[in-house]
Amino acid sequence: MDWKGVMGMRDIIAHHYFDLDAEIVYDVIKHDLPKLKDVLQQIVDDLKVSNQAID
């Protein structure tokens, strides 16, 4: 996962919203957001397994 890109997009949305290109935002939502969701879900699942092993 391109975490630097994720943080960069968040920075643009939060602080440079007047410079947003709607087509780029749409493309990110359409193509990259599902991948990010899958990666984050895997992290959550791994943490749950890790926590169960500790208990």
Closest CA to 32 of 40, 20, 42: 40
Residue 16: phi and psi, rounded to 5, are -125, 40
* Predicted TM-score (pTM) of this structure: 0.72
Q: Where are the domains positioned within the chain?
A: 21-55
Tell me, what's the pLDDT at 29? 94
Tell me, what's the pLDDT at 50? 83
| Integer CA distances (angstroms), 42 to 5, 12, 14, 19, 29, in order | 19, 26, 26, 33, 19
38: enclosing H helix or E strand: helix 33-54
Question: Is residue 20 a contact partner of residue 13, using CB atoms and an 8 Å limit?
Answer: yes
1-37 pLDDT, tens per residue? 999 999 999 999 999 989 999 999 999 999 999 999 9
